[in-house]
Amino acid sequence: MPRVPNGVEPYHPVQDFDLRVAVLHVPGTADPVGHAVVQAVLYWRQLSGHLWWKRWGDPSQTAIVDLFLGGEELEWFLEAQELEACIAQWARGQWVEDDDATGHRVYDATWLSAHESDVVAQRDLNYDLAGLRRARHLR
């Protein structure tokens, strides 16, 4: 995957949630029921070629989401319209889970600051967000 020239990525609204933790609550309750972690990823599709002569398409903004809910960890990849819909929900302080087994559930989402996210991710989720940030800056 080629890097963005000069390491500058164009702004996308998902970057407001990048490497941050959302604390999830059942509406009307104070006790957290889970957490979510969002990683914004600039994704390039390989159009042709192999080894050193690859041809790449235009980059698109995507996200990898890790959901820690009910003692389980789920991970999924969001792109295009699905990502845009999620960003709108997150901006409203909601987390919507559509699952074949559990149905449609809406949680209140409280987004933590970068520092708070680092602390909660390390303490509660065994997830090193600060390390991910450092690794991105080393590329």
Per-residue pLDDT tens digits of the chain, which is 139 residues long: 444 555 556 778 999 999 999 999 999 898 999 999 999 988 888 888 888 788 888 888 899 999 998 888 999 899 888 999 999 999 999 999 876 666 678 999 999 999 999 999 999 999 899 899 888 876 5
pTM over 0.75: yes
**DSSP symbols for the chain:** -PPPGGGPPPP-GGGGGTTEEEEEE-TT--SEEEEEEEEEEEE--EEE--TT--EE---EEEEEEEEEETTEEEEEEEEHHHHHHHHHHHHTTEEEEEETTTEEEEEEEEEPPHHHHHHHHHHHH---HHHHHHHHHH-
104-126 tens-digit pLDDT: 789 999 999 999 999 999 999 99
